[in-house]
Structure 1
């Protein structure tokens, strides 16, 4: 048994949890199955891996640019609260488990492997399960498996009863079901958005994407999308992604940075990451503000370039995997892959609308003296709401994009506060925060708490039923397997 676990652990640590190499490996296998020349196989592996690395660099840069502003806000206004961000949440959950459930520390890695193989099994049995997608974003799987670990060991403590093997199995099973089913829910919406791009979304907002795809047409007209939005002549410059992102970030971040002031932004004890203001003797403060705002635009542009590189290779190569190993399957990739297919302005509109929704809700928490105060985190406010706007704009135009991104921001904060309270994470300073981890995972957690193992079983049955309902509703059953929107 130990001889089997060693290679599995190596694969988990070096490939599955390193999504760039995982994507590269999938491309390599896919091209080999398509019998491409070896030099093309190697070139595809390199382009896919490097493209995903570029995406990771850009995503990390966006986070690093934003986090110092959060730290400065906490320092200036003496706000002690939970940050809704998967990286803050990962640290908070790990610390809570280590403090209160030390026996269960480190379960997430093993549970992740179980969940991944559950996903493979569901796709392999797609004629029965109706699941078509393989979730391949390993770093997201780590974050989610860790959060679900706390839900299981805390809320099902009476059933688990210090049995680490049972806990690992329960965590892995429900994670695998969620990864397979939720990504499967995004197939039609993503195929519609990308014009048959051949991939689905495997990130943190799959339930939200499904909902947006259904509700957006009722909120607006797709013809009135952001690309067709008639602007005064001087505002047409905002149809350029670089100009729009740099200008909007200069407006929003600029206002915040001027409120915070140069003294705080030059304090190395507060600004421990990102760009520290060098002081008036070296740089004017307004130039520092402009640099920070424009840096956001730089990373957004880099992100788009990385997406184009790896999606092109993965889409082509996965034809080999879907035809030879997992027939009819789709790779479920990082949500940023969708950004290159929607309106160039949707990402920024989603970010701004979601941020406004979050800030208004945070103010309401303060006004009504909520026992849990939430601080916005960059990953949910950007990646969730940008994705929602991209999909909403495609189906319901700019009105749907603004309304649904704003609503997402409100729910992230309001229900994030409930989740922090339920899981006892206020003193640990963070919660996962992404939209799928308030809906549906918050109701799932309440089911665990109030119904025990019966609630867990109901959640698993609920997830298994979703693709069955999708298939039953499809008018053309073969088109369902091809992922065609109906």
Structure 2
């Protein structure tokens, strides 16, 4: 049990897990000892810097979320995946145990599928692995399946999710990054891809958000630090003034309420800059190191990585996606009232990280207008499906209230599980899906061999 706990800790600690990936990749390539140490340490440090930046962003945006709720008189549930899975694991031992087992065995299935199918993706976003395995453990427990059934079917489904969703996003990722070296490893894939294609319909790909021509007096806004600071300063000040000095003073403590708001805005920007520095260091080491794993263990494999790895490719689109996703979430919140279930509050943190990703994806397909449209659509995705999904697997019976599952990929998978369980066909669907993925690989391999024969005929 201690060994299993150790392995799970490695898999759910991004810095260590990705450091090990870099270590293995460099050793496979027989790099010099100094290069191995350098690549491993800088990968770990890059992730820690990235995480520190994300932590700073969360610290500075949490008061903003509270002010936002107060300013606009919002009440409802908070979409917060980590809180949902954490509370379920704490309240039900079987869910906690099955989560660990599904995570471990699901990752093995991921590697096997990547090795023998055309879906060459190794999912390396640790907290997303944990959230998906926890969601599956919860669903199977709620549906009345035994531990053996939950772990078996849950692990196979987890492995399928870890290769199929990155494949869904890869055509857009190639446009974003300009190459095919990394993949999108986050459980918001279906949402950002859908929103990006809607953005493509209404956008104009020739007008890239990063190439907007500005008057000389406004050229300073091409600087990421200046543009993010300006946007956040406006958002914070408007929200602060509407929330009122009395409420804001409860958050600012001894500090003047208006000074507090200004510092919060700049602190948020500081977090973004720290995060981007970590991304640059991390990508500079993990991509070359991962080639060793790809060549030897899973030929052609690509690492599916967390959202921030794409931030540096289009920082303007990032901010457009953030701002317009918040608008979309506010619209979605009012639409959700019609369903009579719960009203999901806007997730400001989700709006920045994954709404920003939707903006970047939307910009890749539809330019700056595509980024705006994509942001709004993604905001709707982060609210309306949450409200519709909430009754399917109730949390109140587990003593949990006020929070809800957010990630679109997880909501899709769990909704399908509910439907297939009612029809008593979960094993059939899972086995057919696995065989279908493997058959796709065999067909592709056969065609490749036939093409090679034709070349030499």
Q: TM-score, normalised by structure 2?
A: 0.88
**Pair 464,217 (structure 1): closer, same or farther in 2 beyond 3 Å:** farther
Who is 1:296 aligned against? 268
Does 1:431 find its partner at 2:394? Answer: no
**Pair 477,403 (structure 1): closer, same or farther in 2 beyond 3 Å:** farther
Query: 1:215 offset after TM fit, Å?
Result: 5.2
Equivalent residues in 2 for 1:353-372 (5 A)?
353-366=324-337, 368=338, 370-372=340-342
Unmatched runs of 5 consecutive residues or more in structure 1: 268-275, 479-486
- How many angstroms apart in 1 are the aligned matches of 2:149 and 2:405? 24
- How many angstroms apart in 1 are the aligned matches of 2:83 and 2:404? 6
Residue of 120, 130, 153 corresponding to 2:141:
153
Kept after mapping to 1: 8 A contact 2:324/2:376 = yes
Kept after mapping to 2: 8 A contact 1:82/1:425 = no
Residue of 16, 21, 41 corresponding to 1:21:
16
- How many angstroms apart in 2 are the aligned matches of 1:221 and 1:84? 32
Who is 2:229 aligned against? 246
Computed over aligned residues only, the root mean square deviation of the Cα atoms, in angstroms, reads 2.9
**Pair 209,81 (structure 1): closer, same or farther in 2 beyond 3 Å:** closer
Who is 1:52 aligned against? 47
Q: TM-score, normalised by structure 1?
A: 0.83
Kept after mapping to 2: 8 A contact 1:82/1:420 = no
Query: 1:213 offset after TM fit, Å?
Result: 5.9
- How many angstroms apart in 2 are the aligned matches of 1:300 and 1:460? 43
**Pair 409,216 (structure 1): closer, same or farther in 2 beyond 3 Å:** closer
Query: 1:149 offset after TM fit, Å?
Result: 1.7
Which shows bigger deviation, 144-153 or 51-60? Answer: 144-153
**Pair 472,378 (structure 1): closer, same or farther in 2 beyond 3 Å:** farther
Who is 2:307 aligned against? 335
Q: Deviations over 1:154-212 (max 9, x none)?
A: 1x32xx1xx22222222222112101221233333323321225111111222345445
Residue of 396, 399, 415 corresponding to 2:385:
415
Residue of 290, 294, 298 corresponding to 1:326:
298
Which shows bigger deviation, 33-42 or 455-464? Answer: 455-464
**Pair 253,400 (structure 1): closer, same or farther in 2 beyond 3 Å:** same
Who is 2:109 aligned against? 118
SS in 1 for 2:140: helix
Who is 1:484 aligned against? none
Equivalent residues in 2 for 1:225-236 (5 A)?
225-236=208-219
Residue of 354, 357, 381 corresponding to 2:351:
381
Who is 2:59 aligned against? 64
- How many angstroms apart in 2 are the aligned matches of 1:458 and 1:166? 14
- How many angstroms apart in 2 are the aligned matches of 1:369 and 1:84? 17
Kept after mapping to 2: 8 A contact 1:145/1:171 = yes
- How many angstroms apart in 1 are the aligned matches of 2:441 and 2:240? 47
Query: 1:141 offset after TM fit, Å?
Result: 0.9
Does 1:351 find its partner at 2:322? Answer: yes
SS in 2 for 1:421: coil
**Pair 461,266 (structure 1): closer, same or farther in 2 beyond 3 Å:** farther
Equivalent residues in 2 for 1:180-259 (5 A)?
180-196=163-179, 198-211=181-194, 216-259=199-242
Does 1:178 find its partner at 2:161? Answer: yes
- How many angstroms apart in 2 are the aligned matches of 1:73 and 1:350? 18
Unmatched runs of 5 consecutive residues or more in structure 2: 450-457
**Pair 214,277 (structure 1): closer, same or farther in 2 beyond 3 Å:** closer
Aligned length: 445
Q: Deviations over 1:363-388 (max 9, x none)?
A: 3445x483312112234222221111
**Pair 381,63 (structure 1): closer, same or farther in 2 beyond 3 Å:** same
Q: Deviations over 1:339-359 (max 9, x none)?
A: 122x22011110111000001
**Pair 165,462 (structure 1): closer, same or farther in 2 beyond 3 Å:** closer
Does 1:277 find its partner at 2:268? Answer: no
Which shows bigger deviation, 57-66 or 29-38? Answer: 57-66
Kept after mapping to 1: 8 A contact 2:196/2:359 = no
- How many angstroms apart in 1 are the aligned matches of 2:72 and 2:301? 50
- How many angstroms apart in 2 are the aligned matches of 1:405 and 1:435? 15
Query: 1:316 offset after TM fit, Å?
Result: 0.6
Kept after mapping to 2: 8 A contact 1:134/1:332 = yes
**Pair 382,37 (structure 1): closer, same or farther in 2 beyond 3 Å:** same
- How many angstroms apart in 2 are the aligned matches of 1:390 and 1:77? 28
